[in-house]
Chain A
Amino acid sequence: MTNERHKKLGLTDDDVLEMYKTMLLARKIDERMWLLNRAGKIPFVISCQGQEAAQVGASFALDRNKDYVAPYYRDLGVVLAFGMTAKDLMLSGFAKAEDPNSGGRQMPGHFGQKKNRILSGSSPVTTQLPHAVGVALAAKMEQKDFVSFVTLGEGSSNQGDFHEGLNFAGVHDLPVITMVENNKYAISVPIERQLASENVSDRAQSYGMPGFTVDGNDPLAVYEAVQEARQRAVKGEGPTLIEAVSYRLTAHSSDDDDRQYREKDEVEEAKKKDSIITFTTYLKDIGILNDDIDKSLEKEISDIVNEATDYAENADYAAPEDALKYVYEE
């Protein structure tokens, strides 16, 4: 990373430090979830590790006071940037009644929070893409200047809803930004067995929109791509497809063993490009971060995660008969 790149993008030192903190918080929450899972305290984890730069870089390029996001299950960084708290996420991990995503109804990673304009998601992949297009259609109909932002994995870009949704958005020039977080694996199946084209972004052409492949380990590169996409969208110039390439540093989920299908060396190699490390280096090189600041940040975040964990662990579950609530409007 070259000197002061963030300033050329209009980001202040405080902005990039905030980005870094959000990335680090996402990582630390995720790591804690794994510990809790392995300790038998929570049944399931699905990870953001390796994708924080793309998630946070993109989110910071959006208007976090009015844009809508339709995240997928790895987007811890997106939902944190959009206002969800560590406590909220831990409540979801422990499936407690106060979990704002679902009140403990859904598995962790199934985000949703209306007050922060985070659309509720499900498990069948890519269904959220047409939803984001629908929100963008509403923006166009109501002549509002917000955009919608939707993410998914590269494997999910094979679904019909990807094609149907992007084509719809392209036909009607809708203000929707689609970011495929290409982490090279759809559970066990590598990218070359998922895509016939070299890049996911190659597909953009057929939907009449620009498509870009960017380094998903570089939050500033992702920021730049999403910032430009947002500017086009609010000017009425339509949708954009962005592919942020990184690597999935963990197994697919807590129920997966990635030693069955990939080599340890490959993972170790990818860890050298881990954005938490490379962004730390960038911030230190330009003097925004030093060991003292980093240490105090680590402490601050560790306290946040500890407090959230304790709170969530001690919070109440929903009453059994609450399972009957909210099928329809009450």
Chain B
Amino acid sequence: MPVMSYIQAVTTALREEMIRDEKVFILGEDVGKKGGVFRATDGLYDEFGEYRVLDTPLAESAIAGVGIGAAMYGMRPVAEMQFADFIMPAVNQIISEAAKLRYRSNNDWNAPITIRAPYGGGVHGALYHSQSVEAVFANQPGLKIVMPSTPYDVKGLLKAAIRDNDPVLFFEHKRAYRLLKGEVPEDDYVLPIGKADVKREGSDITVITYGLGVHFALQAAEKLAEEGIDAHILDLRTVYPLDKDAIIEAASKTGKVLLVTEDNKEGSIIGEVSAIIAENCLFDLDAPVQRLAGPDVPAMPYAPTMEKYFMVNPDKVEKAMRELAEF
């Protein structure tokens, strides 16, 4: 089985879907000739031509809005926001239009658009090239938000997003692009949107997280295993709508739950995860639900000292896991 990086899995999924269905096309800034600022669309312009890998004017609301219009017609647009931080001008199109289209038309119209965006910090990206923006969209019924943690999941979930008949936001951790490598089957597989995935079976504590947090937790779990602490790790994969059954099952399994996000703490995805656990698992819990997240400051600073302070990392996760195990 070939081993590929997280970003190669993105390119592979895009390419395979474009071959499979000629309605699939890419639009965004610098996605064409350049192949994307991160090179996620590398080689696709040469292979599929200008109009299937379309360099758009620098205008995010148009990227989303034109994509939505094409999707209403019956195309399968994959729009790229160059950085998740720059999705803000497109929020009206995403929330007022894409999210509500099926509902407001009583199922007459739909917008099968995928919007990809690199998110996340630890790359010296400062305030506006590091943010996690999923919470902005995570109370908008009609949207689905996918945040994969491995190359395998990237390929299967991006294909699922493109084939989905509703709008999907697909957030890719930019630090994972070249950091993470893994086995990715060559065959045409699709993973279910809306399903979390157990990344490590364990019996002492449960960590529920997503994105890069999954790897931090896995690294910490290996160290803690040497101390006899056996961690169960659930990767949310889809952060909206949440996989409630998987969350309840994972929390109930150990009774001790640590929730991890790289986003600011208050109002983040893990707050909702915590509420699901509070509503359903009270009598299975052996410790208060713990949250590990970024501080409640607007975004992470540029200077390495402050960036490191902001970011969740394996050491912070390990410490939080150990404290919970010892509770």
| A and B found bound together | yes
In-complex Cβ contact of B25 among A123, A130, A141, A168 (8 A): A141
* A328-B107 Cα distance, complex, nearest whole Å: 9
Cβ contact within 8 Å between B66 and A168: yes
> What residues on A are CB-neighbors of B72 within 8 Å?
119-120, 131, 134-135
- Nearest CB on B from A52, distance (A): 25
Chain A residues with CB below 8 A from B108, complex form: 100, 112-114, 120
Report which of B52, B73, B89, B142 forms a contact with A328, defined as CB distance below 8 A. B142
- Least Cβ distance of A201 to chain B in Å? 21
Closest residue to A323 on the B side, CB-wise? B103
* Interface check B174, CB cutoff 8 A: no
Residues of A within 8 A of B43 (CB): none
Cβ-based interface call for A161 (8 A): yes
Give the contacting residue for B69; candidates A100, A132, A167; CB below 8 A: A132
Instruction: Give the complex CA separation of A130 and B141 in angstroms.
Output: 22
Tell me if A211 counts as interface (CB < 8 A to partner B). Answer: no
Residues of B close to A138: CB separation below 8 A: 69-70, 73-75
Binds A, one of B94-102, B148-156, B231-239: B94-102
Out of B51, B65, B71, B164, name the residue touching A129 (CB < 8 Å): B65
Cα A297 to Cα B75 in complex, Å, equals 43
Are B65 and A120 closer than 8 Å at their CB atoms? no
| Cβ of B295 to closest chain A Cβ, rounded Å | 32
Q: Does A216 contact B (CB under 8 A)?
A: no
Give the distance in Å from the alpha carbon of A165 to the alpha carbon of B166 in the complex.
Answer: 23
Q: Kindly state whether residue B301 has any CB partner on chain A within 8 Å.
A: no
Query: Which residues of B lie under 8 Å from residue A330 when comparing CB positions?
Result: 107
0/1 interface trace, chain B 59-97, chain A, CB 8 Å (1 if under): 101101111111111110100000000000100110011
Minimum C-beta distance from B87 to chain A (A): 14
Minimum C-beta distance from A223 to chain B (A): 25
Which B residues, 9 to 63, have Cβ-Cβ distances below 8 Å to chain A?
Answer: 25, 51-52, 56-57, 59, 61-62
Within 8 A of B (CB), among A83-123: 99-106, 110, 112-114, 119-120, 122-123
Residue of A nearest to B51 (CB): A141
A79 CA / B62 CA spacing, docked (Å)? 25
Of all chain A residues, the one with the shortest Cβ separation from B110 is A329
Mark each residue of chain B from 111 to 151: 1 if its CB lies under 8 Å from any CB of chain A, else 0: 00000000000000000000000000000011010000000
Q: CB < 8 Å: which of B66, B73, B89, B110 contacts A68?
A: B73
Contacts A127-B92, A168-B59 given; indicate if A327 touches B70 (C-beta within 8 A).
no
Q: Which of B154-168 contact A (CB under 8 A)?
A: 164-166
Tell me whether A120 and B68 are in contact in the complex, defined as CB-CB below 8 angstroms, given that A127-B93, A329-B110 are known contacts. Answer: no
Could you tell me the distance between the alpha carbons of A104 and B107 in the complex, rounded to whole angstroms? 12
Say whether A164 contacts B105, CB under 8 Å: no
Q: Size band of the B side of the interface?
A: 35 or more
User: Which residues of A lie under 8 Å from residue B92 when comparing CB positions?
Assistant: 124, 127, 161
B302 within 8 A of A: no
Q: B178: CB under 8 A from chain A?
A: no
Q: Which residues of A contact B142 (CB under 8 A)?
A: 327-328
Q: B223 at interface (Cβ–Cβ under 8 A)?
A: no
Instruction: Please name all residues of chain A whose beta carbon is closer than 8 Å to the beta carbon of B56 when the two chains form the complex.
Output: 168
Docked-complex contact A130 and B71, CB < 8 angstroms? no
B104 part of interface (Cβ distance < 8 Å): yes
Q: How far is the CA of A120 from the CA of B104 in the complex (A)?
A: 8
> Which of A136, A161, A325, A329 is in CB contact (< 8 Å) with B65?
A161
Known A138-B73, A164-B59; contact A122-B102, beta-carbon cutoff 8 A? no
A133–B109 contact, CB under 8 A?
no
| Chain B residue contacts of A129, Cβ below 8 A | 65
Q: Chain B residues in contact with chain A, CB under 8 A?
A: 25, 51-52, 56-57, 59, 61-62, 64-75, 77, 89, 92-93, 96-97, 100-110, 141-142, 144, 164-166
Pick 8 A–B contacts, CB within 8 A, sort by A. A102-B104, A102-B105, A131-B72, A134-B72, A140-B51, A165-B66, A326-B102, A328-B144
Closest 7 CB pairs of A and B: A134-B69, A130-B65, A103-B106, A131-B69, A164-B62, A134-B70, A120-B105
Please name 10 further chain A to chain B contacts, defined as beta carbons within 8 Å, in addition to the given A110-B104, A119-B72, A168-B57, sorted by A numbering.
Answer: A105-B103, A105-B106, A122-B104, A130-B62, A131-B65, A134-B68, A135-B69, A137-B69, A328-B144, A329-B165
